[in-house]
Amino acid sequence: METSCGVVLVNLGTVLLLQYPQGHWDLPKGHVEIDDENYRETMQRELMEETGIHEIVMIDGFELKTSYSYSYKGKTKQKQVIWYLAETETITVKLSHEHRDYLWLEWDQAIEHITHDETRQVVERAQEFYGRYIR
């Protein structure tokens, strides 16, 4: 099974979304590489590569796994994504060649803007967790 790691990244009540070349809006995420020591390291590396953001504070206690299948070159592939929640004070995004655009949106706007249901559910759960965390 293919594994990726991603993050719900929060900055002053807004969530970072990236637009992928195919047009869909999603969270920063990417594949585990052989040199990654753990899933958190994968997430942090991918966030840095895709956005230039490296100064984050992890929100401990939030880790969520989603899985789905997709078709690639006529074959069905299985994928799992390990999701984390983090905060940053960095607002400037330096997009990689992998993305077309980005948005910082308030929670509810982000949930509406996300293309895939699985990711929407991740952000809903992260919002609920984050609401308990900041109280």
List the domains of the chain with CATH numbers. Answer: 2-133 (3.90.79.10)
Q: Is the dihedral of CA 67, 119, 134, 16 positive or negative?
A: positive
Q: Please give the model's pTM, rounded to 2 decimal places.
A: 0.93
pLDDT 10s per residue in the chain (135 long)? 899 999 999 999 999 999 999 999 999 999 999 999 999 999 999 999 999 999 999 999 999 999 988 888 999 999 999 999 999 999 999 999 999 999 999 999 999 999 999 999 999 999 999 998 775
CA 60/CA 74 separation, integer angstroms: 39
Supply the pLDDT for residue 80. Answer: 96
Supply the pLDDT for residue 71. Answer: 84
Supply the pLDDT for residue 72. Answer: 84
Supply the pLDDT for residue 135. Answer: 59
Residue among 121, 127, 129, 133 at smallest CA distance from 26? 121
Mapped to the 3 state alphabet, what secondary structure does 19-83 carry?
Answer: ECCCCCEECCEEECCCCCCCHHHHHHHHHHHHHCCCCCEEEEEEEEEEEEEEEECCEEEEEEEEE
